[in-house]
Amino acid sequence: MEFLRFENTTFSRERVLNIRGKLFTISAPQVMGIVNCTPDSFYSESQSSTIEKQQKLIDLHVKNGATWLDIGGYSSRPGAEHISEKEEIERIKFAVSYALEKYPDIQISVDTFQSAVAEYALEQGIHLINDISGGLINPEIFSIAADYQVPCILMHMRGTPQTMAQQNHYDNLLQEVLVELGTQVEKARTAGVKDIIIDPGFGFAKNSEQNLKLFSFLEAFQLFDCPVLVGISRKSLIYKTLGISAEDSLNGTTVLNNIALDKGANILRVHDVKEAVETVKLWEKIRGSLSMI
C-alpha cells in the first residue's frame, strides 16, 4: 500500500521587499514587536510612555527574537483622543533613535497615518511606514514613502480612530474589505510605492463577530500578491469572544496566530514576542515534517 503524500503549500512563496534600495527577503514568518509610546493603549502592559519603559521593551522584544519592531505614538484604540503631529513625534523620538542605533539589523516601522510623523521617522532612517488608515486620512503619505523607497503597510479601516466604531456596516464584509483595500493599494502604486504589505485591519471598523468572520477568510488576502501582516494580539475579537480581559488573552492570541500562519500570514504583529517566536518555530517544524512524508 502506498503512503499518501501530503504537500503543504502554505507559505511556499518567498516575498522580497525593497527597503531603501536593499532587498529584504521574507523566507519564513516574521515576528513584529509592538512598541506603543502612548499612555493609553487598550492593553495596559504595552503602555510605554517613558524613555525607560521604551528602552526596556525594545530590548526585551529583540532579546525574545523579534525581527521587526513597530513604533507608534498615536493611540488607535476606539475613541482615542486625537493628538497633533508634533506631540506624536515627541512621543516616538527616543524609541526611534534608540532602536535604529542599538539594533541596525532589525526592520523598524513607524505606526502612523500623519504624514509629518512619517517623514520625520524616515529622515531618521526608519525602514517602513505602517499606516492604519491605508492612506485614507493623509494620502500624501504614499508620495513620502515613494520618495524614500520604503514599503508601506496598508491596513483596512474606515473613518478615524475616533469614528471607526460607528462605521462597521457591511453588506458583504469580505468583498467590501477587499475592494476598499484594493483601491488604496492601487493609489499607493500610482504614487510610486513599490512594495506593499497588506493588513486586514482586525479591530478597526469591525465588531467582534465581523473580525472572526474576516479572520476565517484570511487566505483571500493572498490575491493582492503582497506579504500579509496579521495583528490580532490581545484584541477584542479574542477577549470579548472568551469573556475575559486583554490581560488574559495571551493563550487566545497564540491560538489565532497559529491559525494565521496556516492561512498564509507572513508577519505576526504582537505584544508578546517570545510566545509568537515559539509559535513560529513549532509551526515551521511541523510544516517541515509534512514535506518529508
Please list the active-site residues: 235, 269
* 275 vs 65: CA distance, rounded Å: 10
Q: CB–CB of 31/67 below 8 Å?
A: yes
Assign residue 117 a region (left: φ > 0; alpha: ψ between -120 and 50; beta: otherwise): alpha
Give CA–CA dist 69/17, Å, rounded: 16
Residue 43 to residue 36: CA distance in whole angstroms: 10
Separation CA 192–CA 143 (nearest Å): 7
Which residue has cell 509568537? 276
The CA distances from residue 242 to 25, 104, 206, 245, in Å, are: 37, 39, 17, 9
The CA distance from 203 to 212, in Å, is: 10
- Closest to 156 measured CA to CA, from 109, 211, 194, 193: 211
Q: State the DSSP string of 206-269.
A: --HHHHHHHHHTGGGGGGG-S-BEE--TT-HHHHHHHT--GGG-HHHHHHHHHHHHHTT-SEEE
DSSP label at residue 83 = -
Q: What are the backbone angles phi and psi of residue 197, rounded to the nearest 5°?
A: -115, 135
How far apart are alpha carbons 257 and 143 in whole angstroms? 32
